[in-house]
Structure 1
Amino acid sequence: MYYAHRTEEKNKQQWQRLQEHLEGVAARSEQFANVFGAGEWGRAVGLFHDLGKYSDKFQRRLNGSPVQVDHATAGAQALIEYWGSKVGMIPAYIIAGHHSGLPDGGTEAGSDSCLVRRLSKSIEDYQNAYQEITPPGRPQRMPLAPGLHPGMQLSLFTRMLYSCLVDADSLDTERYCNKEQSELRSMPIDIDAMLERYNDHMGKFSVPKSDIERYRNELLHECLQAVEGPQGMYTLNMPTGSGKTLASLGFALHHAKRYGLSRIIYVIPYTSIIEQNAAIFRSILGSEAVLEHHSNIQREINTDEENDPVRTLNQKMQLAEENWDAPVIVTTNVQFFESLFSNKRSKSRKLHHIANSVVIFDEAQMMNGHFFKPSLYAMEELARNYRVTALFCTGTQPEIAQLFPESVQIREVVHDVPLRYQQFQRTRIHQLEQQSITGLTSLLQEHRQVLCIVNTRKTARELYQQLRSDVMDDESHIFHLSARMYAKHRMEVLASIRERLDAGLRCCVISTQLIEAGVDIDLPVVYRELAGLDSIAQAAGRCNRNGQLPMGEVYVFELEQGLPPGWFRLTGSVTQSILEQYQERGLSMEAVKAYFTELYFYQTSTTIDRTDKENILGRLNEHAREMKFPFKEVNQLFKLIDTDMETVIVPRDEDARKDLDELKTALYLRQSLRKLQPYTVQLYREEFLAYVKAGEVEEIRQGVFVLTNVSNWYKDDLGLIPFSDEHHKLENLII
């Protein structure tokens, strides 16, 4: 009798039989892969993934032997034997890496962990497997329409099958450990019910009360007309303040119903605003329909079974990472794309649920940067072969078509984009001379209601504190917003700001750019530190948002210290050039188009294509003919945020303290961690370590850190203060 997993009981009647596990994983993996036409591939990797557990040595390991056993290489070698060295390489990557992560292809002279070395490795005999299972037949074809980029196409196919396997493996293991918990996992997907709730909500705005509301309704109607179009890639070029969020949700729901799609995935640039968008969707669709998933609290789980054969229930349940089995997912660019290019089991597990879905990129211009091209090519391949419709929403749409061959069709949802820009033109833009912090505070004090957006947390703190010291009377009208404040706190401050604005009271808001996307706030005057023109357009979207004034005023300034080096200095210099050329029309369609044209010139005019700075596409294609892919290398290189950040929970109110007490003793962490997400702040790793060393941050569970002395370090107006003056000066995160 051969076993896959054991309990702490010596009575083997409770142990999971290996044949049962393999058949169960094969069935689930086949079901998942059927969505993109690869069911026989999914079944094969599921059936052979634990083939090495048929060795006598592994069975002795389950019985208590301390000797470690490699059980993941056997299935890889077996499928190479049955399917051949070309076709068999894809399942070989998947099976060899189903615990440790997809390996690099490598060479015979390469690392011991590379696939080529694993395939020639001497392993324990596993031939007893064929007493219980039958080897799968070789697939007759690869279910992929020819694509733009062989390396991207074949590596993504491997990743998607890998996702099917590791999710199926985790779910089958969870079913064995705790059947009741397993049955509660899946969230029902009812598109009709969500559509009904959406229509009820939108019915409140069916009778417009102003021209702006009428234009928003017309744009919504155009979005709903577009849902009948074929699956593929779409752009939704709607000006700021025109209702993109709700219009795109309407498109997604109707399009999902039209094509029988499984879920809607919203990808948002900033963790700092994800909670607000998720709250909007919950209020419309119901809390049970929306899964909010980002990287504030996320742990890498060690799933190396060879090192821990006695799998307790708690350890087994740690395998139940998020797999995006929900109707609506709200996540971030970082979570979405770093998972898409990851080789890790925990991050890859959710990928197969991207297939057969609508993926909406809110503020898509924020994708632009060093990984823009590989990100777009991945989305094109998902649209081509995985039944994905991608909708890129923005008020300042980068010309994404120019990164593709002419054969790639990208449809625009809005019928007359220039007309809509003209209808929503509510601001004038002005360039100011270079400013000091002191000079800027003097300008801001001249306005009754004003918003000032700066590039760094450091500048936001300094400007806010200078204003507070300059104002001699009541300071209650001055507000500060940054990601040093946890999300729930920011929401409370925003509520206070809206109350003052609605009452016509004096109000001055100092914020980092977190206020620019997804925050519905309306001020007559906005100041914006020099940045990319797309960011300035976002800032302008907070000015005269509802068209109550003939024209709002937007002032662009540069501070004496200049811009941070790299991407931000590049985009700022291009913006300066465009504003000098277009003056008050600096946010016109022509100006935005000129901005992206010039930006792409700087990105691609040298020998290095800065839209693919790490040559991700080149690396994937280099040895694609030999089916050798650098999965591990690409995972290490594809980092949308260069600086490592660490997450700290701030238990500042009674709800947070109660949830924290539950977390300390919880058997299952997921629910407690999710409840604590609105109380998290992210710090640079250097500052985080300083807090830890001083005993001000405590690790209460593995990888979960809490601020211990909240009253000393967390302030009502500034949030979590820097650990030292040195950390204040070094803080240059643009968020």
Structure 2
Amino acid sequence: MQIENVELFDLDGKIKEIDKMYAHTKENYKETLKEHLYKTYEYFLFLVKEKGLGKQIKFLAEKLKLSEESEKLFLKFFVNAVFLHDIGKINVNFQSVKMKNDIYIKNDVDKSDTNHSLLSAFIYLNIYTEEVEVIMSKKEKRILEGILFLNSYAISKHHSSFDIINEYGKKIGNFMKKEKYKDTCQHYEVKKFNPTISINDVCEKIPPEYVFIYIRFLFSCICTADFYATGSFMNSKAQNTLNTIKDEKIIEKYRNTELYKIIGKSVKVNDLTNVSDINILRTNLFKEAEENIKNNLNERIFYLEAPTGSGKTNMSINLATVLLENDKSLNRLFYIFPFNTLVEQTEKQLLDIFGENYIATLNSLTPYKENKKSDEEDFGKDYEQILLDRQFIHYPIVVTTHVNFFSYLFNIGKESIFTLANVANSIIIFDEIQSYKNSIWKYVINLLEKYAEFLNLKIIIMSATLPKLSNLTGEKVVTLIGNPKKYFEHPIFRERVKLDYSLLNFELKGNFDRNMEEEKLLLKIKEIAKKNDGNILVEFIRKKTAYEFFEKLNSLNFENRKIMLITSDDNKIERNRIINYLKNGNEDVILVATQVIEAGVDIDVKYGFKNISTLDSEEQFLGRINRNSRKKGAVVFFFYLDDPKRIYKEDHRLGDELSLTLLNEKNRENLLNKDFNSFYEAVFRKIVKKIEKNEKGNEEDINRNFRDLNFFEIEAVFKLIDEDKNVFKVFLNRNITDESGNIINGQEVWNDFFSILIDQEIGFAERKVKLSQIYSKLNNFIYEIRGTQIITYTDIIGDIYYIENGEDYFENGKLNIKKLTGEEVEFI
């Protein structure tokens, strides 16, 4: 059955005075409830057509292996859940109090209950429960009753966040038992019925993860269609495009680049033994990955494992165009990164290829994207459309972070969930997915597989140190590089940088002398600096140590050397200033840094020093050294000042007693030979061992949360970054010079921020858009500091402390944390 042929509930025949009830009002205009419900249905059909959602809507029915008759009912229930999402607005109190509907104002019932969402869910259940009785199979009957219950939950929540479905069961049960609908539901004749308030029969038939995705997907369809319909009335403007990828232009734009043309003319080399040009290896990798994805177009998850500096981003863009070319159902592309620095770097690459009309960056640092039009100067910006585009990701290519994308998949907030329909039929490219909580890797890859199957996603996971996460789950994953080892062990990649462990010659279990180790580090840096033949990069894993070492280097006499510092505190302007100085051919820098340097910072230096941590991080760091194999004598010295356990805490990649770090000779061999499979085999053993233990968050607990649809607990499990409550956001007022030489005045930015917040003349959408624009400027002045106090501040807005004399707290261009807090604290 086609979606558009599904029978809709008879509003005129079953709801008294439906034409006299309102759904929305604006100024002197009123939209009837009937108009809104039909408009929502029309936008639902528009969404289904534009995004191609027919298969997703039918997915669960097919998984449940329902009979033809039951499947028709399933579709009817789904479509009418969207159509009847606001049917509860027949509540006479809603009409009287919210809509100021004259017909119902004189109604003498208690007007305190104006809720319409729960009443909508109740009426929906009341309408369709009896239709299940025609099904002969008792099993299918119970399954369809469970589906009705699920659908009613989505309806009840379309103005709020998800919680626990069992709590909703109690709520709707109490609502029916106490007949709370009697006074408010006067225009629909409630039938006696006994609905099933359980999803057990559904979850027994199929993995509960599918049910979890289904309810989020339905909710997304309801909210998306509802928003489009409401917006078309409130703003007098139809939503006529979702900005999907519809034509070959994106493919053409990429294939017209010089790099693609050069690779296209190149021939794949079978024998790499005597190859001395890194570009030949890059070409081989490019072509092999392309061949393998073409041979596996029906698969859903692909691994792209290639050495640092091998051109993975370019390879992934090509792979995306191959998928788009061969699967016309795919209509959106997501690039997902662990850090904002990687987001910025890749955004620039994509903009250079595709242009700004195709690309949108979604993070806290980037203003909402505006689709500029020729008439904007005359009529002003369409703030409602800008906000709607952001809320429902109406962009062909999206660049965002793991945290943001995972919120679409797992968070309970409606703003996160209602993006899901627009995520369907997309290509998702993950970079360094192993950067977060390895304790949940198994569940992440399992859920990604389920999401990919349900929503028709093609997922490419790329990394230089890629753990074969499928080994934890048994899911089928296509490896795009058949034998990565031949590339990793090729001299161009393997011998690009010499690894030196001379600074690790100490007994950690004895009386570890940190001061002595720091002095050894300083002496070695001085020795290298005297050569004056290349830049030096020094990475620490604690920000506090990086700041202290930066200050120490500045106090010493380094002839012909500039001492610089780059951390996550640095705004985009400062970060680009440092990077551009290095990229412009200057060879006189000692750059002190934190882990932010490992990814998304496009630099190439000759000498490196690094505090040991995880093997992944060591390899990422090596990617900043002699990146293009043109610096003879490049070397990295590993040292130990700070304990990785303090930073990475329960990260299994460190092993017991740091047994999986470079303190172990075996892991030095693994790093030299780029043998990350051996390393991750040991990591996986630790993960499996922990899962098998009866600990909080173990496999059975997680499975139970899915069976019970405990959305709170599921969100908590898949939360990538835990919130630190002992954190202050501090705005330090000062003047900053941008890359074009313009002065950004902190006082003016703060005043603009305050003005937007208090402006009563602007609407919700305009405020949200303007706040996104001012936040991108605010971030140039905001520092996050962990501690117990701020010594003094001038003003406070929300959770942001404003300090007037911000420049007083800087030395050598960097923040002096002790001056600000008066105590030894950590930066975030």
Category of TM-score, reference length = shorter chain: 0.7 to 0.9
Check if 1:511 corresponds to 2:593.
yes
Q: Is the 8 A contact 1:25 1:47 kept in 2?
A: yes
Equivalent runs, 1:425-440 vs 2, <5 Å:
425=494, 426-431=496-501, 432-433=503-504, 436=515, 437-440=518-521
Do the aligned partners of residues 443 and 19 (structure 1) sit closer, same or farther apart at CA in structure 2, a change above 3 Å counting?
farther
With a CA cutoff of 8 Å and minimum separation of 6, indicate the structure with the bigger relative contact order: 1
| Whole-angstrom distance in 1 between the partners of 2:331 and 2:728 | 33
Check if 1:460 corresponds to 2:556.
no
Q: Which amino acid aligns with 2:413?
A: K
Residue among 123, 139, 144 paired with 1:78: 123
Q: Report the secondary structure of 1:288's partner residue.
A: coil
**Counterpart for residue 598 of structure 1:** 682
Check if 1:6 corresponds to 2:88.
no
| Whole-angstrom distance in 2 between the partners of 1:541 and 1:529 | 15
Do the aligned partners of residues 244 and 278 (structure 1) sit closer, same or farther apart at CA in structure 2, a change above 3 Å counting?
same
Q: Which amino acid aligns with 2:689?
A: S
Q: Which amino acid aligns with 1:158?
A: I
**Higher mean C-alpha deviation, range 38-47 or range 281-290:** 38-47
**Counterpart for residue 528 of structure 2:** 447
Check if 1:250 corresponds to 2:318.
yes
Q: Report the secondary structure of 1:214's partner residue.
A: helix
Do the aligned partners of residues 291 and 565 (structure 1) sit closer, same or farther apart at CA in structure 2, a change above 3 Å counting?
closer
Residue among 605, 621, 624 paired with 1:539: 621
**Counterpart for residue 226 of structure 1:** 292
Q: Is the 8 A contact 2:359 2:399 kept in 1?
A: yes
| Whole-angstrom distance in 2 between the partners of 1:46 and 1:723 | 57
| Whole-angstrom distance in 1 between the partners of 2:638 and 2:402 | 27
Cα deviation digits, residues 264-310 of structure 1 (max 9, x gap): 111101123322221221121111111111245899xxxxxxxxxxx
Q: Which amino acid aligns with 2:86?
A: D
| Whole-angstrom distance in 2 between the partners of 1:438 and 1:149 | 61
1:395 offset after TM fit, Å? 0.6
1:146 offset after TM fit, Å? 11
**Counterpart for residue 630 of structure 1:** 710
Check if 1:553 corresponds to 2:635.
yes
Q: Which amino acid aligns with 2:566?
A: L
Check if 1:92 corresponds to 2:152.
yes
Q: Is the 8 A contact 1:51 1:129 kept in 2?
A: no
Check if 1:389 corresponds to 2:458.
yes
Check if 1:235 corresponds to 2:303.
yes
**Higher mean C-alpha deviation, range 169-178 or range 393-402:** 169-178
Residue among 409, 418, 421 paired with 2:476: 409
1:479 offset after TM fit, Å? 1.3
Do the aligned partners of residues 655 and 288 (structure 1) sit closer, same or farther apart at CA in structure 2, a change above 3 Å counting?
farther
Check if 1:497 corresponds to 2:582.
yes
1:474 offset after TM fit, Å? 5.5
**Higher mean C-alpha deviation, range 146-155 or range 481-490:** 146-155
1:409 offset after TM fit, Å? 1.5
Equivalent runs, 1:336-355 vs 2, <5 Å:
336-355=405-424
Do the aligned partners of residues 531 and 37 (structure 1) sit closer, same or farther apart at CA in structure 2, a change above 3 Å counting?
same
Equivalent runs, 1:3-402 vs 2, <5 Å:
3-7=22-26, 9=27, 11=28, 14-32=29-47, 34-38=53-57, 40=75, 43-63=79-99, 67-81=112-126, 82-83=128-129, 85-106=145-166, 122-125=179-182, 150-180=207-237, 183=239, 186-187=242-243, 189-201=245-257, 202-203=259-260, 205-206=262-263, 211-228=277-294, 229=296, 230-260=298-328, 261-295=330-364, 322-402=391-471
Q: Is the 8 A contact 2:22 2:30 kept in 1?
A: yes
Equivalent runs, 1:648-659 vs 2, <5 Å:
652-653=736-737
1:38 offset after TM fit, Å? 0.9
| Whole-angstrom distance in 2 between the partners of 1:607 and 1:584 | 28
Count residues with an aligned counterpart.
Answer: 686
1:42 offset after TM fit, Å? 5.0
Q: Is the 8 A contact 2:537 2:607 kept in 1?
A: yes
| Whole-angstrom distance in 2 between the partners of 1:550 and 1:272 | 28
| Whole-angstrom distance in 2 between the partners of 1:217 and 1:26 | 50
1:669 offset after TM fit, Å? 4.0
Q: Is the 8 A contact 1:294 1:332 kept in 2?
A: yes
1:244 offset after TM fit, Å? 0.6
| Whole-angstrom distance in 1 between the partners of 2:326 and 2:357 | 23
Q: Is the 8 A contact 2:793 2:802 kept in 1?
A: no
Q: Report the secondary structure of 2:736's partner residue.
A: coil
Do the aligned partners of residues 318 and 472 (structure 1) sit closer, same or farther apart at CA in structure 2, a change above 3 Å counting?
closer
Tell me which structure has the larger Cα radius of gyration: 2
Cα deviation digits, residues 49-74 of structure 1 (max 9, x gap): 11211111100122458845221112
1:560 offset after TM fit, Å? 5.2
| Whole-angstrom distance in 1 between the partners of 2:248 and 2:816 | 44
1:468 offset after TM fit, Å? 1.0
| Whole-angstrom distance in 2 between the partners of 1:655 and 1:231 | 52
**Higher mean C-alpha deviation, range 546-555 or range 456-465:** 546-555
Residue among 567, 589, 596 paired with 2:649: 567
Q: Which amino acid aligns with 1:328?
A: I
Q: Which structure 1 segments of 5+ residues have no match?
A: 132-137, 300-312
Q: Which structure 2 segments of 5+ residues have no match?
A: 1-19, 59-74, 106-110, 130-143, 190-194, 267-274, 369-381, 507-513, 530-534, 757-761
Equivalent runs, 1:571-720 vs 2, <5 Å:
571-573=653-655, 576-577=659-660, 579=662, 580-582=664-666, 584-588=668-672, 591-606=675-690, 614-615=697-698, 618-621=701-704, 624=707, 628-644=708-724, 652-653=736-737, 664-665=755-756, 667=763, 668-676=766-774, 678-679=776-777, 680=779, 684=784, 690=789, 694-696=792-794, 698-699=796-797, 709-713=805-809, 717-718=813-814
| Whole-angstrom distance in 1 between the partners of 2:86 and 2:222 | 11
| Whole-angstrom distance in 2 between the partners of 1:661 and 1:231 | 53
Do the aligned partners of residues 646 and 240 (structure 1) sit closer, same or farther apart at CA in structure 2, a change above 3 Å counting?
farther
Q: Report the secondary structure of 1:547's partner residue.
A: coil
Cα deviation digits, residues 361-383 of structure 1 (max 9, x gap): 11232145233222212210122
**Counterpart for residue 303 of structure 1:** none
1:103 offset after TM fit, Å? 2.7
Cα deviation digits, residues 537-583 of structure 1 (max 9, x gap): 10111111111145632222211566416636653346654643336
TM-score by length of 1: 0.83
| Whole-angstrom distance in 2 between the partners of 1:5 and 1:377 | 42
Do the aligned partners of residues 662 and 277 (structure 1) sit closer, same or farther apart at CA in structure 2, a change above 3 Å counting?
farther
1:263 offset after TM fit, Å? 0.8
| Whole-angstrom distance in 1 between the partners of 2:367 and 2:698 | 28
**Higher mean C-alpha deviation, range 87-96 or range 554-563:** 554-563
**Counterpart for residue 305 of structure 1:** none
Q: Is the 8 A contact 1:340 1:348 kept in 2?
A: yes
| Whole-angstrom distance in 1 between the partners of 2:36 and 2:743 | 41
Q: Is the 8 A contact 2:41 2:83 kept in 1?
A: yes
| Whole-angstrom distance in 1 between the partners of 2:423 and 2:233 | 26
TM-score by length of 2: 0.74
Do the aligned partners of residues 430 and 210 (structure 1) sit closer, same or farther apart at CA in structure 2, a change above 3 Å counting?
closer
Q: Is the 8 A contact 1:155 1:620 kept in 2?
A: no
Q: Is the 8 A contact 2:209 2:706 kept in 1?
A: no
| Whole-angstrom distance in 1 between the partners of 2:772 and 2:240 | 17
Do the aligned partners of residues 698 and 198 (structure 1) sit closer, same or farther apart at CA in structure 2, a change above 3 Å counting?
farther
Q: Which amino acid aligns with 2:251?
A: L
Q: Is the 8 A contact 1:265 1:331 kept in 2?
A: yes
| Whole-angstrom distance in 1 between the partners of 2:673 and 2:210 | 35
Do the aligned partners of residues 715 and 171 (structure 1) sit closer, same or farther apart at CA in structure 2, a change above 3 Å counting?
farther
